[in-house]
Chains A and B, each alone.
Chain A
Amino acid sequence: MSKSARAPGASSKRLAEDGGASPLSHSLHSLSLQHSSPSKPARSPAVADPSSDICPVCKSSRYLNPNMRFLVNPECYHKMCESCVDRIFSHGPAPCPIAGCKRTLRKAKFRRQTFEDLKVEREVDIRRRVARAMNKQESDFETLKDYNDYLETVEEITWNLILKIDVENTERRLRLWEETQKAERDPNAPRRLAEPDPSLPSDTSHVVLKKGATQRKALAASSGNTPDPFGTSDDADKDAGFVFHGLKKYVPPEPEKPFNPFGGWGIEPKYYVFQKDYDVDWLTRQKNDPGHLVGGYDMQDFYSRCLREAFGGLGIFIEDEIIARENQASGDAGVGTRSAATAAAGGKDVDMSDVF
């Protein structure tokens, strides 16, 4: 597979051919194909040889020094031993000591190799980085097809980065996309200037970029109906990096209402006004009885209960309530309750507020 063969649609074709094997296995497959590609032997990271336990920089061997650890820097993935890293990069950024590699490396970016094969290591890093920016889910799209198209575009982006095609442009779009997404979610956040991520390979050629863009335009024009998710806009203000068909607009979650300790319930007498005290002869004895006061017996509870029970049932129409309940049982709650409420509001003649 050569660079020029990569175009939108290619990844989907391959996916179809392989009948849904995991994306990672695809990449392994194609990387091993590319391994023998003569187009860029110098660029290709050192081939991981399980038997090679010798540091390419200082040539010390793990055989003699079992504690030796190898580190890589995602800038170029050239492997070297820990003590070389300490020696060369402790005083600040320095060029990679591997012949032919002129990248400037920082000590902080060195880390242990997770995968034996450095190509896999690099691909996993790229996939992780793309997944961080492209984190939409099926529910974010109008249809399953829109979602699948999106996934395909994501795969496209990943492959462009893995195969170092159109890297600068893809990176720029990814960052734009991340920025727009972040701004949408948190409009008040300061808009960080998109700066290149130094942890990512930024190898690119403008020739490829231009060529790729024209190719894509041509392809989009010929296929007609499918909108090009890579967009064609050069308008920096509006550019969100990518445009996806059927992506639902982000709806910010409603701000939470303040907590109501009463659970939203309330009771207010409708037909009378409640007084703190009622001066009636037959209650004076209990009102002043220490035996009632000492135990917290509350005369007001008694007054309000008497009134509530006297007025209870006014304006209540049992039949309406039964209808409402039956409706509720049959899943038509809203209508039933509302019709009952309307019926109740009609019973104006029982409104005898403030008779006391």
Chain B
Amino acid sequence: MTFSPVLSPRPNPPGTKMATNATAAKAKALAILNNSRAVPSPSVASTPGDGGLDLAEQMNDEVRRRFVSGTRLGEGTYAIVYSGHYRHDPSKLVAIKKIKLNADFKDGIAMDAIREIKFLSELSHPNIIQLHAVFSTKDQNISLVLEHLPLGDLEMLWKNHSISYGGADIKSWANMLCQAVWFCHENYVLHRDIKGNNLLISADGTVKLADFGLARSFADPGRDMTCNVITRFYRPPELLLGCRHYGGCVDVWSTGCVIAELAIREFFLPSETDIQQLSVICDVFGIPTEETWPGVSKLRHYEASFGAAAPKHPHGINYWKQRFPLLGEDGIDLLRGMLRMDPMKRLSATQVLQHPYWTNAPRPTKKENLPKQGGGEKTMGEDLKRRGGEIETGRLDKVARKLDFGAMKK
């Protein structure tokens, strides 16, 4: 896989007129080089000649020197994440994701890193994690400089029972998530690993889709794609049944699962194995048949999964009303639209955002008023500052400030 030199138009950021879309949109094909402001001129940078190696090394050094790496934030399957900041301005925080050296990729970089760099450098949206720069270190390790997102993720959020939230908060988080997914699909990128702990939260409460390690472009017709993607709890039935031609609808299913989790504060469709995952799904949605999902019986794993199974019927509306009271009737309608077994009947990311749920009451909570949780070093400092007896949620913080007698005017 190589970097595509193709420039594609990007959707218009808010506030720009249609007529200017071509330019106002970001052309990030040169993203990594362009991010280095000290590069003499783009023409030099983009012409790898015989002396290109030296220039590349110089540029790499220049980029690397612009960041200072700090404490370890966490470790994932293929990378270790450190906190860091810009050398010239320590208040500008970043997260530095250092890709682990992998025995399988002795002579190159792990595919996950390639995908992450390729797609993040093309996508520029407030609800998608921003890639500031990429550099490599002497030991040939590649590092991604990412936006610093210190307030945990959506899964930590619903698991943290010291935080309470309501329907308007769920709508706000869900909308940011759905915008991110819509923007990926609008740019023909399948994320293929949407789940609560890949939805990180920035200091101001914005939800940002991260971890593009499994992403790919929409496939050409006739080209097979792997069906062994997406974390199991969030994997749609067509992938579990072995389908190799799919579209954005796989991400919409995962997104629906995340919204459901936010609403019930537990995993929506948890299971131990792939086989069990299908059965858990069918417990709620029924076993698909040729009538409910044309062509489903021809899918590779259909016979093995359902050949001898007793028919299961989908739950009716009362199940949804009882399980998802926080979503309201319109929210339930949207959720069921996102979780249709037949991907052809499932809502597209665009249709999801066109659903009346978003504009109906209650209005989604404003970012600054969303309940927040702490995380990382900053919270520890915050914890020390806090006096005994105070509970931390965004809202209570505000009230406390209002009661601050020191600030009262004589």
Spell out A's residues near B (CB within 8 Å): 20, 22-23, 137-138, 147, 151, 256, 258-259, 261-268, 270, 283, 285-287, 289-299, 301-302, 305, 308-309, 311-322, 325-326, 329, 337, 340-341, 343-345
Chain A: which residue is nearest B126 at the CB level? Answer: A263
In the bound complex, CA of A259 to CA of B82 (Å): 37
B contact residues around A311 at 8 Å (CB): 9
Contacts of A295 in B (CB 8 A): 238, 243-247, 299, 343
Q: Select A313's contact among B6, B11, B296, B364, beta carbons within 8 Å.
A: B6
B221 touches A345 (CB 8 A): no
Most buried by A among B222, B296, B298, B299: B222
In this complex, what residue of A is CB-closest to B43?
A319
Contacts of B294 in A (CB 8 A): 293-294
Q: How far is the CB of B127 from chain A (nearest CB, A)?
A: 8
In the bound assembly, the distance between CA atoms of A295 and B183 in angstroms comes to 21
Give me the interface of B with A, judged by CB distance under 8 Å: 6-16, 18-27, 30, 34, 37, 42, 125-127, 175, 178-179, 182-183, 185-186, 188, 218-222, 238, 243-250, 293-296, 298-299, 342-344, 346, 348, 353-355, 358-359, 363-364, 409-410
Q: Determine whether the beta carbon of A341 is less than 8 Å from that of B247.
A: no
Once A263-B14, A319-B42, A340-B24 are accepted as A-B contacts, the answer to whether A296 and B221 lie under 8 Å apart by CB is no
**Interchain CB contact under 8 A, A293 and B42:** no
| Across-interface contacts of B12 in A (CB, < 8 A) | 265-268
CB distance from B23 to the nearest CB of A (A): 3
- The answer to whether B8 and A312 have CB atoms under 8 Å apart is yes
A325 touching B244 by the CB < 8 A rule? no
Q: How far is the CA of A337 from the CA of B15 in the complex (A)?
A: 11
Chain A residues with Cβ under 8 A from B348's Cβ?
298
A20, A268, A318, A322: the one contacting B21 at CB < 8 Å is A268
The SS class assigned to the A binding surface is: helix
In the complex, the answer to whether B23 meets A309 with C-beta atoms within 8 Å is no
B residues in contact with A267, CB < 8 Å: 9-12, 21, 186
Alpha-carbon separation in the docked complex, A66 to B133 (Å): 77
- Kindly report which residue of chain A lies nearest to residue B253, judged by CB atoms: A296
A313 contacts which chain B residues (CB < 8 A)? Answer: 6-9, 27
In the assembly, what is the distance between CA of A151 and CA of B410, in Å? 8
Name A326's contact: one of B37, B359, B363 (CB within 8 Å).
Answer: B37
Q: Per DSSP, are chain B's interface residues mostly helix, strand or loop, or mixed?
A: loop
Q: Which residue of A lies closest to B350 (CB)?
A: A262
Which chain A residue lies CB-closest to B300?
A291
Identify 6 residue pairs between A and B in the complex whose beta-carbon atoms are under 8 Å apart, listed by A's number.
A256-B363, A263-B127, A291-B295, A292-B245, A294-B299, A313-B9
Contact A261 B354 (CB under 8 A): yes
Q: Which one, B13, B298, B344, contacts A296 given CB within 8 A?
A: B344
A259-B27 in contact given A267-B186, A268-B21 (Cβ < 8 Å): no
Once the chains bind, are A258 and B359 in contact (CB under 8 Å)? yes
B247 and A265 contacting across the interface, CB-CB below 8 Å: no
Whether the pair B11, A265 counts as a contact (CB closer than 8 A) is yes
Given contacts A294-B298, A298-B247, A326-B37, contact A316 B16 (CB under 8 A): no
Contacts of B11 in A (CB 8 A): 265-267
- Is there an interface contact between A301 and B218, defined as CB atoms closer than 8 Å? yes
* Selected contact of B409 from candidates A151, A316, A319, CB within 8 Å: A151
- Is B188 touching A296 in the complex (CB atoms < 8 A)? no
Return B326 CB to nearest CB of chain A, in Å: 18
| Beyond A261-B175, A302-B221, A316-B7, 16 additional pairs, beta carbon < 8 A | A256-B363, A259-B363, A263-B127, A265-B11, A265-B125, A270-B9, A293-B295, A294-B294, A294-B295, A295-B244, A295-B247, A296-B249, A309-B6, A312-B7, A313-B6, A318-B27
| Cross-chain contact B23 with A305 (CB below 8 angstroms) | no
Instruction: Evaluate contact between B188 and A305: CB separation under 8 angstroms.
Output: yes
Q: How far is the CB of A143 from chain B (nearest CB, A)?
A: 14
Cα distance, A290 to B346, chains bound together (Å):
17
- A298 to chain B: closest residue by CB: B247
Given contacts A313-B27, A340-B24, A344-B23, contact A294 B244 (CB under 8 A): no
Closest 10 CB pairs of A and B: A296-B343, A264-B14, A344-B23, A313-B7, A312-B8, A315-B22, A294-B295, A286-B221, A295-B243, A261-B358
Q: Of A261, A292, A312, A345, which is within 8 A of B9 by CB?
A: A312
Cα separation A236 to B222 with both chains bound (whole Å):
83
**CB nearest neighbor in B for A337:** B24
* Residues of the B chain whose Cβ atoms lie less than 8 Å from the Cβ of A137: 409
Is there contact, CB below 8 Å, between A344 and B26?
no
In the complex, chain A residues whose CB is within 8 Å of the CB of B354: 261
- The one of A263, A296, A305, A321 in contact with B346, judged by C-beta atoms closer than 8 angstroms, is A296
Contacts of A344 in B (CB 8 A): 20, 22-24
B296 & A294 in contact (Cβ 8 Å cutoff): yes
Cβ–Cβ < 8 Å partners of B179 in chain A: 261-263, 265
Central interface residue in A138, A290, A319, by most chain B CB within 10 Å = A290
* B238 x A296 contact (CB < 8 A): yes
Interchain CB contact under 8 A, A291 and B244: yes
- Report the separation of the CA atoms of residues A294 and B296 in the bound assembly, to the nearest whole angstrom: 6
In the complex, the answer to whether B14 meets A312 with C-beta atoms within 8 Å is no
Whether the Cβ atoms of B246 and A259 lie closer than 8 Å is no
Closest to B188 in A: A305
Q: Are A298 and B243 in contact (CB under 8 A)?
A: no
Q: Are B23 and A317 interface neighbours, CB within 8 A?
A: yes
Q: When the two chains form their complex, are residues B221 and A262 in contact, meaning their CB atoms are under 8 A apart?
A: no
On whether the beta carbons of B6 and A312 are closer than 8 Å, the reply is yes
Residue of B23, B238, B298 touching A321 (CB-CB under 8 A):
B23
- Given A297-B245, A316-B22, A320-B23, CB of A265 within 8 Å of CB of B183: yes
B23 lies within 8 A of A291 (CB): no
Contacting residues, chain B, for A337 (C-beta < 8 A): 16, 24
Question: Complex: how many Å from CA A70 to CA B37?
Answer: 77
Contact A297 B175, CB 8 Å, known A266-B12, A267-B186, A341-B24: no
Q: A263-B14, A296-B246, A297-B247 are known contacts. Are A290 and B298 too (CB-CB below 8 A)?
A: yes
Task: Give complex CA distance A64, B244 in Å.
Answer: 91
Determine which residue in A312, A315, A316, A322 has the highest number of CB atoms from chain B within 10 A of its CB, and name it: A316
Known: A294-B295, A344-B23. A308 touches B9 (CB 8 A): yes
| A345 & B20 in contact (Cβ 8 Å cutoff) | yes
Partner of B15, one of A264, A315, A325: A264
